[in-house]
Every structure is written in C-alpha cells, then in structure tokens.
C-alpha cells in the first residue's frame, strides 16, 4: 500500500489523441504537447501513447525536456516551444529538436552552434498573447528571410502563434486568427513548405478555422476540459486519478480541533480519518476545509488545514471506515466522481494547475484500462525516496 499514488491510464490518452485527430481535416497534423512532464502524467510513457494515438510530433517547453525524450529512445520530431538560452542550446541541438525564433540574435546563435543536420526553426508571430514572438509581421518575415539565407545549416520549418483566449473570448480568438492568416500567406511565398500552426486544446475543439496545417493540443489529451467544465462533453476521458489511504481513525470530541491553526473545531463528536498525503504531494493549502475525499463510494469533507504530508477527513458521527481503506482525491469511487475541473473550481484555478501540482514524490502507476504496464520510471524513483 502506497501513501500516495497517481494512476495514469495510457489507453485513455491514446483514445483522447485519436479523438482529437478525428476533429482535423485532411492534411492537418497533431503535435502533442507533453511539456511539464506531460502535465504531471509522465512525459516518456505519455509520449509513446500519443504517438500510438496518431500524433505526428511532440512539443515541449525546454531543451531538457527534449533531451529526456530522446534519451528514452523516442525518435519523433520534437518542438521546443520556449526560450532556449546559449547554455541550453547544445542540449536542444543534441536532441535534434526544432526551435522557435522571434529575433535575429537567436538565429545567429543557432547558426554558430549548428554542426550537423539542418536545424529546423519556426518563426513566432505574437498576434495577441503578449509573451514570446514579435508583434511586427514585417520583423517576423525578416527573421524568416534570415533563416532561409543560412541554408543548409538552418531550415525554415514553421510559422506559429499562440492564442490567449480560445477558452473564453472567441471574438479575440477570431482577431488573432485574422492577424495570423496574412503572415502565413506571406511566409509561404518565401517557403511554400512551411507548416503553419496555432491551435491549443481549446481552439482545436471549438475553432476549426484555427487548425491550419497542425494543431498543438495539450490538456485535452489528458482528458481535461480546457474550458474547465466537463471533458465528457468533448468525448474525452480523464487519464489520471489520485489516491491515498486511511492511515488513522480517531474520535474528535466536541470542541476539539484538527490540524495547524485549529482551522477545524468539531461542533459535535465526530470521527476523523488521517490520510498520508499533503501539499508536498500536490494537495494545495487552498483546499483546506474546501474539498471532498471519496472513501468507500461516499463523499467526505476534508477538514482543517492541509499540511505538508497529511490531510484530515470528517467521517461523521458514525462510521464503518477502517484503517487501510482506500481514498480518492481525483477520480471515481463507486458512483461518486471528483474531477480535476471540480477541484480547480473550488479554489479559482484551472485543471492544468491541479494535475501539474502532483509532485514527483507521488509514484505514477501506468496502466491500460486496468492492465498495469511496466514502464513506471517516476514510480520507481519516487518509491525509493518514500522508503528511505
């Protein structure tokens, strides 16, 4: 029995990928975003699942993430979407990763470091996200021209942007799409084979006009709703569940408190279960007195402050819950279900953050519709630490 365990259904991720691919027109490919350790699900096993499900490419945020996938033997094209410093560039190039440019200095740095196969570079236009990318289409075209002038060491591979409000403000989304179209047309005059891509999960699901040549979904592949409602409405299956167990059961008399700061004081005699999972495992302090835990097919309120390693659950004045009983924080128990979206709504965040919170200390057990598979690198690492 493990103090905390995240179960990841790779078959669900594969099916979600197929479902997203089915939304695409002929000739449009899917680039699966597996950054941030595949949103807490485990980058390497997830990468294999999405590739089996039809993804043509993988996207990460850092050079280190690209290197991790390559060292695991994954040969698919990898796009590093984030900033890559001069110190990180050798790792990205060694991984054969495709890179993103938004200024000429970065192109010059890549050219100076390139020493083998052509380095494929995507030019990023900022159409409204306001982070990376140049806001000036003419500047973006100059960057594209600079890349073309560096052949054969460099190759102009793509034109991209990123949407700011695809999950909320569709009018602004349409403005971003409209701003991206003429840039794509101009850059294709320079290089007809350039791949245009822009759509995240929300846009892939709700805005076919944003699909271009390739889409870049992330959270939807893991069975979470990018609009933070219910993934089932899109035909997606949550892939991750989070579990612990009841390590202690004790009676709290009326007036007795539970946890740091006495944030729960029993109004009447009640039984309290202690679970060995806390905020270092990914249960945020904000869920103190603000969450349910599923035990024996029933919902019980989390009471008191979430601590680093433990939480407390109110079982009520009478209970049949015993030490060793399983507990679910994300997932299904009997007819009860608690989703990442529901937890996010309680504390004003998004499901992305909920799944990414789950720390490396929590082992991941990978399965395919219940059949456990052996590829459990995170589980072995975390399990060794837990036993120490």
Active site residues: 35, 260
279 touches 307 (CB < 8 A): yes
At residue 182, the 3 state secondary structure works out as helix
Q: What are the φ and ψ backbone dihedral angles of 136, each rounded to 5 degrees?
A: -95, 110
Say if CB 124 and CB 133 are below 8 A apart: yes
Looking up tokens 């699966």 gives 32
DSSP sequence for 23-77:
TSPTT-EEEEE-HHHHHTT-HHHHHHHHHHTT--EEEESSHHHHHHHHHTT--S-
Q: Is 8 helix (H, G, I), strand (E, B) or coil?
A: strand
CB 364 within 8 A of CB 376: yes
Contact 276, 3 (CB under 8 A): yes
- For residue 272, how far is the Cα from the chain centroid? 34
What are the two backbone dihedrals, phi and then psi, of residue 109, each rounded to the nearest 5 degrees?
-65, -40
The string of DSSP letters for 223-276 reads T--TTSS-GGGGT----EEEEEE--EEEEEPTT-EESGGG-EE-SS-EEEEEES
Alpha-carbon gap, residue 298 to 273, rounded angstroms: 14
CA dist 162 and 132 (Å) reads: 9
Distance CA 131, CA 152 (A): 30
DSSP 8-state code for residue 194: P
The sign of the torsion formed by the CA atoms of 122, 126, 130, 133 equals positive
Are 308 and 350 in contact, with CB atoms under 8 Å apart? Answer: no
């Amino acid at each position: 029995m493990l103090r905390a365990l995240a179960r990841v259904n790779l078959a669900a991720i594969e099916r979600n990928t197929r479902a997203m691919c089915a939304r695409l027109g002929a000739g449009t490919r899917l680039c699966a975003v597996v950054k941030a350790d595949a949103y807490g699900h485990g980058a390497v096993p997830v990468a294999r699942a999405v590739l089996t499900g039809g993804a043509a490419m993988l996207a990460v945020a850092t050079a280190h993430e690209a290197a991790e996938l390559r060292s695991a033997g994954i040969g698919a094209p990898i796009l590093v979407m984030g900033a890559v410093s001069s110190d990180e560039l050798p790792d990205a190039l060694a991984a054969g990763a495709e890179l993103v440019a938004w200024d000429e200095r970065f192109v010059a740095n890549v050219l100076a470091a390139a020493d083998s196969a052509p380095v494929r570079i995507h030019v990023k236009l900022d159409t409204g996200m306001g982070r990376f990318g140049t806001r000036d289409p003419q500047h973006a075209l100059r960057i594209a021209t600079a890349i073309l002038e560096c052949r054969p060491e460099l190759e102009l591979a793509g034109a991209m942007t990123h949407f700011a409000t695809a999950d909320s403000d569709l009018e602004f989304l349409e403005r971003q799409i409209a701003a991206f179209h003429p840039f794509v047309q101009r850059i294709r005059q320079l290089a007809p084979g350039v791949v245009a891509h822009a759509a995240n999960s929300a846009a892939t699901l709700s805005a076919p006009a944003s699909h271009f040549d390739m889409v870049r979904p992330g959270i939807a592949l893991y069975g979470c709703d990018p609009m933070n409602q219910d993934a089932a409405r899109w035909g997606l299956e949550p892939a991750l569940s989070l579990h612990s167990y009841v390590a202690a059961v004790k009676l709290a008399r009326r007036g007795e408190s539970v946890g740091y700061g006495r944030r729960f004081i029993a109004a009447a005699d009640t039984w309290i279960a202690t679970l060995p999972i806390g905020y270092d495992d990914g249960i945020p302090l904000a869920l103190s007195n603000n969450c349910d835990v599923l035990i024996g097919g029933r919902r019980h309120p989390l009471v008191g402050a979430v601590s680093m390693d433990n939480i407390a659950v109110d079982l009520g004045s009478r209970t049949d819950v015993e030490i060793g009983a399983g507990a679910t924080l994300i997932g299904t128990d009997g007819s009860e279900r608690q989703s990442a979206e529901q937890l996010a709504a309680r504390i004003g965040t998004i499901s992305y953050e909920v799944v990414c919170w789950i720390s490396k200390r929590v082992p991941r057990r990978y399965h395919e519709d219940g059949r456990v598979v052996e590829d459990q690198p995170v589980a072995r690492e975390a399990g060794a630490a837990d036993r120490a």
